[in-house]
């Protein structure tokens, strides 16, 4: 549309056209549909006049885009270019056709059968406007300048074709305007020879259907009936084709003379239009190529996709941008960005008339006013075609920038452009601070081509969305963009800030109350640009409960550990906010721009809180450059970057205080003894004085001493050199609860074992071990003020002392073994008992003096301080009377006299001497056995403590292993005697002396028993009397007629195994035989 168009015609006649007969060929009906009343644009004024411009002047000169007058028949030879496509026009259709421009001329003015004007071969006469038809009552001499331009009129003199664009008719449709080309034969042609002629005209500025182009030819002079019209070969000769009247020779004198009758005698033939040719090099079209005629409907109104082919004359497309690309040099927010525009339209843009506007440049910033345009990469000076206005100082290489919510660029065309030709230029803006997707950028144009001279409002190109650059890889650009890829060159597609994988945080200590250096490093996908419009800030959150002790004027000092060169504001300080969770934060304002892809690191000192805390979520926030599209800052969680750290221990992770070693041991489990408690501790963290640490050993209750003592001394007898750093080497002792609290004034290094010991006095009562616990307390006196307690947790019992042997003063090591399971447990006191508890006697003979020997080995030292006393019960069956001071013989410190009760109880009175545990002690006591025999007694040893009527131990006094039963305590055996006749006489009636032998078989016949013996069974004796000799030990107190002696006594004992003789028994035998088995009892 609006572009120069070369019309090619191929003509042939069946007869030669000879110069001797003035002959013309006229091509008409070359109509511009937009200039017909029925096709008027919508811009109609209130008085009904069509809104077309006529006789427009530009820069003071008439604007005549296609004037009436001579026109070349060789066309307009020029190069048409679109991208890489270019071609030359005009050209030949077929090689055998003859270029016929020299056979025709523009004028003749026939008179009397001859041309009165010579004319110029190769030219034709173009009439840009003439009255094609007329109906109505326009008055004669009515001025028509407002329709046909200067010189176009209708009056009684005649009709002039005019010299400007015509309106095509008036609003009432009373007449229409057509365009035509007239050629006069300048050189005789040959019959049946094809002649090719071309002429170039400018196309209509809007879409136009190819009209029914007609051809009319008249051979002959100007005399009536002296000429003929050339007809179609298919039309019978002499038939007139009524196609309307020619203006030629029509001179109306009155208005009524203008009637349809005067327009009824035109002879024309419809030309054969090329509907099948596909024009080359026509990519600047809606279809991207030319089309041939086909059955289709132009639903879009683009003028191309109609049923006609693009080669049909004066088929014109609707103006549009066939190329409308826009790209950028960087997607970085806040950065200077070069936007490169490539445009091409299927029309041309007119100097001082056309205006191109690019809208929707959302987010871009430049101050309102002229903005410089740079040339494209091809160096063709395309930027010079545009200005910020049609006149003034910025008419070349500028555009007009309008800032606001939706910025726009307006280009005032100050040099005619070519149709379908790429124009490339660029301009620089500042990218927005926020992320955004590519905006919808539109391009439009007003007054394209010569439309401003044709129509009051001109013709424009409606807004159309521009195509974003999807192909350029900015990472390969002259100034490469790191991390870029194809697609990132889409104009005003702005990246969001992204913290890259090396971004992270680490700390130097997870110990409570420790000095801690936090190191942060970050790397971003974009530079954080410090500009007049962008003030980037980096905020670190999640420094939970960190304590800032080194603030300078309320600001946290920062150390640049990446040699970033003054990146941090104020020479390396940042605003500090103390708090829990995200409230603990550090805000840095950058005082210089960063570089994308470069790792920056900085550190700052804090003091850890006392209490444990799990990993807080550390976040890094970037604001002011690369925000989200809604303006909100970009916050991302950052990871721990310490390669040696437990992944669960991140920055501001504070370890739980844990006593990883908490061993304890005592050295004495014995009642009433001094007891040293050995403690061995180690912590998993450094325990430092800043936290006012306290360690408490809890639960040593039921001790006999010491009393409460705020300064109980502690020591390290193990000589390890690692005495716990307790304040003053002492602790605070509370007897009632058994707690010892140490305040530390030195550091306990993590993983190092420390020792200490302290002395207590055991109670006098055996008991189980105490469930000792250890508690550690840390207190922070600054924000956040807090106290954290470890435990109390159970302590572990094991041998931790360098020397764990029992004190030999108390214990015989050879006689007792340490119970490693219980004796080491602090608070465990052995319940006293005897490991050896035996008794045995010296005599089992009735009425004999008997020595009872008791052996004891206690399991604990029996100390006088504990008020121990012992009593033996069950010594029954003696003839020993009560004795308040019974003598005993002892190897231990019992008094020589003890209290004896005939009931069988011996109460032992102790002395100040110590009875060591594990050593066997023996003592004896003398008693007299009773006369009757008796089974062994079961004596018991009972151990008492002062003030307790119930014995703390009651144990049987068993006989030592291997002891004969006769020596079981107070076992007394009944006597057994053997009596035999030593001498006798067996003669009847003989008087003789019988001597008997008495032999004790099992026990001594102790005289203390005052025993009496009866001899019986001498029943067959006729006479019986006792006449002992001087040596017999027996005395017969009674004699029985029945043949027995009774109450035979002796004043001395008859020992077992030593027979005694009973002599002097005078017996008179009877006359009967004695039975051999007569028993003497």
CB 743 within 8 A of CB 727: yes
Count CB neighbours of 82 within 10 A: 21
List 131's β-bridge partners, or say none. Answer: 177
pLDDT in tens, 125-159: 887 664 444 444 444 434 443 333 343 344 333 33
CB 1000 within 8 A of CB 1056: yes
Count CB neighbours of 1016 within 10 A: 14
Which residues, given as ranges, of the chain have pLDDT below 50? Answer: 37-65, 78-82, 86-93, 95, 130-176, 236-265, 566, 569-570, 802, 1074-1081
d(CA 321, CA 467): 11
CB 76 within 8 A of CB 68: no
Pairing of strands 940-945, 953-956: antiparallel
CB 9 within 8 A of CB 27: yes
Question: Which residues, other chains included, contact 125 with Cβ-Cβ below 8 Å and sequence gap of 6+?
Answer: 69, 70, 71, 106, 107, 181, 182, 183
Q: Up-side HSE of residue 854: CA atoms within 13 Å toward CB? A: 29
913, two tokens? 């001497």
> Cα Rg for the chain, rounded, in angstroms?
70
d(CA 981, CA 185): 205
Count CB neighbours of 337 within 10 A: 23
CB 533 within 8 A of CB 334: yes
CA 274 to chain centroid, in Å, comes to 70
d(CA 747, CA 739): 22
3 state SS of 570: helix
d(CA 919, CA 940): 20
The closest of 697, 696, 705, 711 to 675, measured between CA atoms, is 705
Q: What is the pLDDT of residue 77?
A: 52
d(CA 589, CA 571): 11
Question: What's the helix, strand, coil split of the chain in %, to 5?
Answer: 5, 40, 55
d(CA 116, CA 726): 137
Q: DSSP class of residue 1005?
A: B
| Dihedral, CA of residue 718, residue 720, residue 722 and residue 724, to nearest 10 | 0
Whole-angstrom CA distances from 520 to 299, 541, 543, 555, 641 are: 63, 11, 11, 17, 9
List 637's β-bridge partners, or say none. Answer: 619
Count CB neighbours of 784 within 10 A: 14
d(CA 192, CA 637): 89
In terms of C-beta density within 10 A (0-12 exposed, 13-18 middle, 19 or more buried), how is residue 238 classed? exposed
For the chain, give the longest Cα–Cα distance. 236
Q: Strands (DSSP E) along 561-706, which ranges?
A: 573-577, 585-589, 600-607, 619-623, 634-637, 639-640, 659-666, 674-683, 694-698
Q: Tokens 């144009």 map to which residue?
A: 445
In terms of C-beta density within 10 A (0-12 exposed, 13-18 middle, 19 or more buried), how is residue 39 classed? middle
d(CA 967, CA 481): 113
3 state SS of 382: helix
> What does pTM read for this prediction?
0.70
Count CB neighbours of 607 within 10 A: 19
The closest of 30, 199, 231, 180 to 100, measured between CA atoms, is 199
The phi, psi pair for 658, rounded to 5°, reads -140, 125
d(CA 144, CA 135): 15
Q: Tokens 């843009």 map to which residue?
A: 349
CB 475 within 8 A of CB 485: yes
Q: What is the pLDDT of residue 38?
A: 40
The closest of 650, 657, 607 to 780, measured between CA atoms, is 607
List 962's β-bridge partners, or say none. Answer: none
Q: Strands (DSSP E) along 508-599, which ranges?
A: 515-522, 537-541, 555-557, 559-560, 573-577, 585-589
Q: What is the pLDDT of residue 66?
A: 55
Count, in order, helices (H) and strands (E) of the chain. 3, 66
d(CA 320, CA 345): 6
The closest of 87, 145, 126 to 279, measured between CA atoms, is 87
634, two tokens? 């970009």
């Amino acid at each position: 549309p609006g572009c120069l168009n070369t019309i090619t015609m191929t003509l042939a006649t069946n007869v030669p056209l000879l110069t001797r007969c003035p002959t013309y060929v006229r091509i008409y009906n070359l109509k511009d549909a937009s200039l017909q009343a029925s096709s008027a644009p919508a811009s109609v004024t209130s008085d009904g006049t069509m809104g077309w411009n006529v006789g427009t002047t530009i820069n003071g000169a008439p604007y005549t885009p296609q004037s009436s007058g001579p026109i070349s028949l060789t066309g307009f030879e020029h190069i048409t270019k679109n991208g890489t496509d270019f071609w030359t026009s005009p050209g030949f259709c077929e090689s055998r056709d003859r270029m016929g421009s020299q056979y025709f001329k523009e004028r003749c003015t026939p008179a009397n059968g001859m041309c009165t004007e010579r004319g110029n071969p190769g030219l034709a006469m173009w009439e840009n406007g003439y009255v094609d038809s007329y109906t109505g009552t326009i008055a004669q001499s009515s001025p028509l300048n407002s329709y046909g331009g200067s010189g176009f009129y209708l009056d009684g003199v005649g009709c002039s074709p005019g010299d400007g664009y015509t309106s095509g008719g008036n609003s009432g449709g009373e007449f229409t305007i057509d365009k035509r080309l007239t050629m006069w034969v300048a050189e005789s042609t040959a019959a049946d020879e094809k002649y090719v002629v071309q002429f170039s005209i400018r196309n209509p500025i809007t879409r136009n259907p190819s009209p029914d182009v007609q051809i009319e030819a008249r051979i002959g002079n100007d005399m009536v009936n002296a000429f003929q019209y050339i007809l179609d070969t298919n039309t019978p000769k002499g038939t007139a084709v009524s196609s309307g009247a020619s203006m030629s020779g029509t001179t109306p004198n009155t208005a009524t003379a203008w009637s349809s009758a005067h327009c009824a005698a035109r002879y024309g033939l419809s030309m054969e239009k090329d509907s099948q040719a596909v024009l080359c090099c026509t990519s600047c079209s809606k279809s991207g190529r030319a089309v041939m005629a086909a059955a289709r409907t132009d639903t879009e109104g683009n003028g191309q996709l109609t049923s006609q082919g693009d080669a049909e004359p004066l088929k014109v497309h609707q103006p549009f941008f066939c190329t409308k690309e826009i790209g950028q040099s960087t997607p970085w927010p806040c950065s200077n960005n070069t936007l490169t525009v490539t445009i091409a339209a299927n029309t041309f843009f007119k100097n001082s008339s056309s205006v191109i506007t690019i809208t929707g440049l959302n987010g871009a910033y430049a101050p309102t006013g002229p903005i410089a345009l740079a040339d494209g990469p091809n160096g063709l000076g395309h930027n010079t075609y545009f200005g910020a206005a049609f006149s003034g100082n910025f008419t070349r290489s500028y555009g007009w920038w309008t800032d606001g919510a939706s910025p726009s660029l307006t280009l005032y065309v100050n040099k005619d452009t070519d149709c379908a030709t790429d124009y490339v230029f660029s301009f620089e803006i500042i990218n927005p601070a926020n992320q955004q997707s590519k905006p919808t950028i539109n391009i439009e144009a007003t007054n394209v081509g010569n439309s401003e001279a044709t129509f009051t409002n001109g013709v424009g190109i409606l807004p159309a969305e521009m195509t974003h650059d999807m192909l350029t890889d900015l990472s390969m650009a002259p100034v490469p963009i790191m991390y870029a890829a194809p697609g990132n060159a889409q104009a005003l597609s702005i990246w969001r800030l992204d913290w890259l994988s090396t971004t992270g945080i680490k700390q130097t200590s997870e110990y409570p109350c420790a000095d801690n250096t936090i190191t942060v490093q970050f790397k971003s996908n974009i530079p954080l640009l410090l500009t007049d419009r962008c003030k980037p800030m980096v905020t670190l959150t999640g420094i939970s409960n960190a304590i800032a002790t080194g603030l300078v004027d309320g600001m946290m000092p920062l150390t640049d550990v990446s040699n970033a060169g003054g990146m941090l504001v104020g020479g390396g300080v940042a605003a500090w906010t103390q708090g829990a969770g995200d409230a603990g934060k550090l805000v840095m304002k950058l005082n210089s721009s960063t570089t994308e892809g470069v790792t920056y690191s900085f550190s700052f000192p804090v003091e850890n809180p006392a209490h444990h805390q799990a990993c807080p979520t550390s976040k890094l926030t970037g604001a002011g450059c690369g925000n989200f599209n809604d303006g909100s800052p970009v916050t991302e969680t950052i990871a721990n970057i310490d390669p040696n750290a437990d992944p669960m221990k991140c920055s501001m992770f504070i370890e739980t205080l844990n006593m990883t070693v908490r061993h304890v041991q005592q050295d004495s489990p014995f009642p009433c003894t001094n007891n040293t408690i050995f403690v061995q501790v180690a912590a998993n963290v450094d325990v430092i004085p800043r936290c006012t640490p306290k360690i408490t050993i809890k639960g040593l209750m039921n001790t006999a001493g010491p009393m409460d003592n705020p300064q109980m001394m502690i020591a390290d007898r193990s000589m390890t050199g690692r005495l716990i750093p307790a304040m003053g080497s002492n602790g605070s002792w509370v007897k009632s609860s058994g707690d010892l609290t140490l305040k530390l004034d030195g550091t306990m290094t993590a993983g190092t074992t420390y020792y200490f010991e302290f002395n207590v006095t055991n109670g006098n009562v055996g008991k189980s071990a105490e469930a000792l616990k250890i508690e550690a307390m840390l207190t922070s006196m600054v924000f956040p003020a807090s106290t954290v307690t470890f435990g109390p947790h159970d302590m572990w019992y094991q041998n931790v002392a360098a020397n764990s042997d029992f004190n030999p003063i108390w214990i015989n090591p050879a006689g007792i073994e340490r119970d490693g399971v219980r004796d080491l447990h602090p608070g465990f006191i052995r319940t006293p008992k005897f490991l050896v508890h035996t008794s045995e006697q010296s005599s089992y003979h009735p009425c004999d003096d008997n020595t009872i020997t008791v052996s004891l080995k206690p399991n604990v030292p029996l100390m006088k301080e504990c008020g121990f006393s012992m009593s033996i019960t069950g010594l029954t069956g003696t003839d020993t009377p009560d004795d308040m001071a019974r003598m005993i013989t002892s190897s231990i410190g019992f008094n020589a006299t003890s209290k004896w009760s005939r009931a069988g109880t011996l109460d032992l009175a102790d002395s100040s001497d110590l009875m060591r545990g594990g050593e066997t002690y023996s003592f004896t006591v003398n008693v007299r056995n009773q006369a009757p025999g008796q089974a062994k007694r079961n004596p018991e040893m009972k151990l008492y403590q002062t003030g307790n009527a119930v014995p703390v131990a009651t144990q049987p006094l068993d006989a030592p292993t291997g002891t004969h039963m006769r020596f079981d305590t107070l076992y007394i055996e009944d006597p057994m005697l053997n009596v035999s006749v030593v001498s006798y006489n067996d003669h009847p009636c003989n008087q003789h002396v019988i001597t008997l032998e008495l032999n004790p078989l099992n026990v001594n016949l102790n005289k203390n028993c005052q025993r009496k013996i009866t001899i019986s069974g001498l029943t067959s004796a006729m006479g019986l009397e006792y006449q002992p000799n001087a040596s017999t030990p027996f005395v017969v107190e009674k004699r029985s007629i029945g043949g027995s002696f009774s109450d035979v006594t002796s004043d001395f004992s008859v020992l077992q195994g030593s027979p005694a003789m009973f002599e002097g028994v005078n017996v008179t035998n009877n006359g009967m035989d004695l039975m051999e088995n007569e028993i003497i009892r």
